[in-house]
Amino acid sequence: MPRLYSSQQIVKSLEREGFAFVSQRGSHVKYRKTGASMVYTVIVPAGRKQIPRGTFRSILRQSGLDESAFGRS
């Protein structure tokens, strides 16, 4: 079974990769990173112990990162 990440682990990894908190509305938190030619905006469900695999894949697409960026602690 693939590893499931918590919201806290995902947020820590995004911040380590240069993403900054933008806003929160309800249970969703928005992070943003401005790259050389793109602006990446990621929406993360807050306060979850396990993020479903499909939601995590969506976060990967939004962030432009590889899963290995989330494996480091």
Q: Write the pLDDT tens digit of every residue in 4-21.
A: 999 999 999 999 999 999
pTM of structure: 0.88
- Reading the block at residue 1, the tokens are 């079974």
Cα–Cα dist 29/71, whole Å = 21
Residue 49 makes CB contacts below 8 A (sequence gap 6+) with: 6, 7
Question: For domain 7-63, which architecture applies?
Answer: 2-Layer Sandwich (3.30)
pLDDT digits (tens, 9 = 90+) for 30-52: 999 997 789 999 999 999 999 99
- Domain locations along the chain: 7-63
Please give the structure tokens belonging to residue 34: 């401005």
Secondary structure class of 35 (helix, strand, coil): coil
Length of the chain: 73
